Amino acid sequence: MTRILSAFTLLACVPLCAFGADEPARTPEPGVKERVVMGWLESIFVKPWNRRLTAKLDTGAKTSSLHADKIEHFSKSGEPWVRFTLEDIEGRHQEPIKVEKPLLRTAYIKSHQRQSSKRDVVMMDICKNGRDYQAEFNLVDRSNFNYPVLLGRAFLKDVALVDANATFLFRGEDDPCYKATAKSDK
């Protein structure tokens, strides 16, 4: 009888223990940012033009890259700036956008197939999943690649966890960034 009573007590406790009835609710550690799950391909919106671009999320790359044409250097108030064009390489029939940004630095990008290349780095504003971000992008001709944007670890580390099995977890048309674009077009 004692064994049956002990077994019954143990079974009655299992559901409570399994749900952590005795543990206080966990709160996030200070400084920890909430990250969302994204697929290895996602739509982003480049601000302030809200140009929709397809981005490949690449945890193997440190720096993010952006397709840029007609890159020119110039000086503004004695500081180095760069001017470039965002061309539509995805076939969406969008007009080219001329962009001028302060030059943050020059990066040397390693390549397994050829020598390191020297690239200009600028800060760009992007929107993803209804949230605005600032990120560093090196400028490069990506017309030989499938996607005009590559999001690297420096951006992803505080923003996303990448599901290598998924693409477009936030469809471009469902992204609040797109909806803001559609409203501003009216």
Q: What is the pLDDT of residues 163-178, one digit of tens each?
A: 999 999 987 778 888 7
CB 82 within 8 A of CB 98: no
Position 16 in a domain: no
Residue 179: both structure tokens together: 């909806």
**Is 120 among the domain residues?**
yes
Q: List, for residues 7-42, the tens digit of each pLDDT value.
A: 444 444 444 444 444 545 555 555 557 889 999 999
Number of structural domains in the chain: 1
Element (H, E) at 6: helix 2-18
CA dihedral sign, ordered 140, 145, 147, 152: negative
Q: Is residue 92 part of a domain?
A: yes
Position 19 scores a pLDDT of 43
Does the predicted TM-score (pTM) go above 0.95? Answer: no
Least confident of 50-64, 73-87, 104-118, 122-136: 104-118
Query: Residue 24: inside a domain, yes or no?
Result: no
Q: How confident is the model at residue 182 (pLDDT cuts 50, 70, 90)?
A: low
Q: How far apart are the first and last CA of the chain?
A: 77
Residues across the chain = 186
Give pLDDT, residue 55. Answer: 95
State how far the Cα of 179 lies from the Cα of 41, in Å rounded to an integer. Answer: 20
Establish if 30 belongs to a structural domain: no
Expressed as residue numbers, the domain containing 106 is: 35-185
Confidence check: pLDDT of 43 > 50: yes
Locate 40 and state its tokens: 């290895």
User: For the domain that residue 86 is a member of, what is the CATH number?
Assistant: 2.40.70.10
* Within-domain flag for 164: yes
pLDDT for the residue numbered 110: 74
Q: Grade residue 131 by pLDDT with cuts at 50, 70 and 90.
A: very high
> pLDDT tens digit string along 48-97?
998 999 999 999 999 999 999 999 999 999 999 999 999 877 777 788 99
- Mean pLDDT across the stretch 106-117? 77
Q: Which pLDDT does position 183 carry in this prediction?
A: 56
Is residue 26 situated within a structural domain?
no
